[in-house]
Amino acid sequence: MPVPKRRTSKRVKNQRRAHDALTTPQWSSCAHCGETVLPHRACSKCGYYRGRAALKIAES
């Protein structure tokens, strides 16, 4: 089985990890009820997506 010849230097390791940072998701507000929602997903509060009811949310 192949094994690395040399230990990866701190510099190379850190250069590789320079692009690994996580980004926060872009939130938007629901056009129907105003709740904050993740893009391309039906609203968890009213079930609306693109102006129509995509999910049936049980009334409580």
Chain positions contacting Zn ion, by CB under 5 A: 30, 32-33, 35, 43, 45-46, 48
Nearer to Zn ion, 11 or 50 (CB): 50
What are the tokens at 25? 């998701």
- In the complex, the smallest distance separating the C-beta of residue 46 from Zn ion, rounded to whole angstroms, is 3
Nearer to Zn ion, 33 or 38 (CB): 33
Pairing of the two strands 52-53 and 48-49: antiparallel
For 8, phi and psi rounded to 5 degrees?
-65, 130
- In the complex, the smallest distance separating the C-beta of residue 59 from Zn ion, rounded to whole angstroms, is 14
Cβ–Cβ under 8 Å, residues 19 and 29: no
